[in-house]
Every structure is written in C-alpha cells, then in structure tokens.
Amino acid sequence: MRCEKMWLEQNALAGGVDVLIADMPGRAQRTFGKGEVRAKFSVGKTRLDAFYQEGAAKIRIPESFDGSMEAVLINTSGGLTGGDRLQWAMTAEAGTTLTVTTQACEKIYKSDSGPAMIDSELRVEDGARLDWLPQETIMFDDASLHRRLDVDLAENAEFLAIEAVLLGRKAMGEAVQRGQFRDRWRVRRQGTLIHAEDVRMTGDIENLVSQTAVLGGDVAFATLLYCGPRTEALLPKVREALGNSAGGASEWNGKLVARVVAPDGYQLRKALFPLLGSCGTAKICRKSGIYEICKL
C-alpha cells in the first residue's frame, strides 16, 4: 500500500507554510492472525476449555447437540498475500471429539514480497478424535504459499485430515501459470514420526501440472489422511467411495492415505463428499454456508 507524501501544517511561528516532511517509502500492510482452541470432556460431552484469538484470526463455536464440538476458523482479512501469516493451534483433550473447519475457502493472491504462511499445530490426546476439515485453498496466478501442519497424537487418538487445493477457478476463467506452493505435513504418535510429506510446486506451475506424473492437466487436488485403529476396515470403503474419480488409497502402519485429482473444484467436491462419509458414521450437509460433518 503506497504511502502518500506527508505534509505538516506549521503553526504561526513558521508563517503558516506547508512543509514537506518526507517521501515515505512504500510499505504494504501485512496480515497476522493467531487462534487457539482447547476442548475438554466434561459432564458427558465435549466442551470448550480454552479459547484465544488475535488479529485476523477469528473462531466461532456453533452449538452442538451430539456431544461433540465444532470450531469454525475465519480469516477476516479475506485472503492472504506475500508476508501474511496465520497460526492455528487446536487441542482435543482425552475423550473429546473435535471437528475443525473453515468458514470459507482460503484465497492466496498474487505476491510480490515473499510467501504467505499458514502454520497449524494439532494435538490429540488419549481416546480423543480430531477431524481437520478446512475448505479448499484457492491459489491465484503468481501466488506464493508456505503451509505447515504438525500433529501430535497420543497412543489411542484418532485423526482425520483433508486438505484440498485449487489452482485457479475454471468457472471464473482463472488459470495459474506461475507461482509457488509448499505444503509440509508431520504427524507423530507418542513422539514417533508416522507420516511425513512435502509438496513443492514452484516456477512454471502450468507446465508442471500438465505432466502425467503430476496432475495430468487437472488443476484441483486433495489429500486425505486417517490415523487410527480402523484403517484396515476403512480401506475398502474409501476405495469404493472413490468410484471412478482419479485417485487412489492405501493403508499401512496404522494410517490410511487417499489422493484425489479433478479437472475443477466442483468435480473435486463431488469426489470428496462420499470419501469423507466413508471414514465414519457421518454424512456431509450444508448448514449456514459452511460444509461440515453431521452425525447420522
């Protein structure tokens, strides 16, 4: 955001002359936000134990009637660009069930001053379950994003996560030709690393995703990760839910991973809804403009 020249109207001692103070260098405003939620089990249901929000990061806790708790994350800046940063920290204490989603898709705009950064730290204690289900991240041309997800699981914790990315919106005539996207996941159970992945797209993204071994020309993709005791039982259900979608699923060492690609965001959502539903006794519904998990 460019700063205009600053002028100071002198007092009568200076003869009432307008004097130029400085040609201030252009300096853009940057977004910062930090939000934290801690859920506890009390009087037969999951309840809010600790809550913190700062800057552009806001959190809403909708009323729940099934013993679980939901947290809706909001970025009030409306999107991110170079130099912006969001930090989220979610904790599901022993015996709780916590679902975390977002109010809207996160939009990453053109950057001319480094990457936007999103850091998420999740902790799931014994007998608890945390579902990390943000809506899609939309990358625009020349956008730059570094995203980090760190998860700490107790021995008997369950964790479900899905992250979806759109490289532009086809219905709006958008296309991503160049940019940078880095996505780093680290999941540990009792301090032992059980899942790690790094996605890196940089430079000529349009040419990169056109390659068969990458996205084969598609521009929407998602990763689903489930860590818990039901991986073997869930695998055939997940594969059935994938149907004719371009993707696949595998399970080993107490985790299940599914990948899906699609030509656009609409087709990706059509593939993800049954996929999410196959990971538990849940269905997808739309409520107050927010896609969320609703228990059957």
Lowest-confidence segment of 18-27, 95-104, 226-235 by average pLDDT: 18-27
- Among 48, 129, 126, which Cα is nearest to 94's? 126
Domain containing 95 equals 29-295
**7 part of a folded domain:** no
Element (H, E) at 67: none
124 with 151: CB under 8 angstroms?
Answer: yes
**5 part of a folded domain:** no
Element (H, E) at 191: none
**152 part of a folded domain:** yes
**264 part of a folded domain:** yes
**137 part of a folded domain:** yes
Determine what percent of the chain falls in helix, strand and coil, rounding each to the nearest 5: 10, 55, 35
Instruction: Name the band, by pLDDT with cuts 50, 70 and 90, for residue 26.
Output: low
pLDDT tens-digit profile of 34-90?
Answer: 999 999 999 999 999 999 999 999 999 998 888 999 999 999 998 999 999 999 999
Overall domain count for the chain: 1
**220 part of a folded domain:** yes
For 60, 185, 229, 240, 258, the CA distances from 279, given in Å and listed in that order, are 25, 20, 12, 11, 11
**154 part of a folded domain:** yes
- Among 57, 86, 49, which Cα is nearest to 73's? 57
pLDDT tens-digit profile of 279-294?
Answer: 864 434 444 333 444 3
Averaged confidence pLDDT in the chain? 85
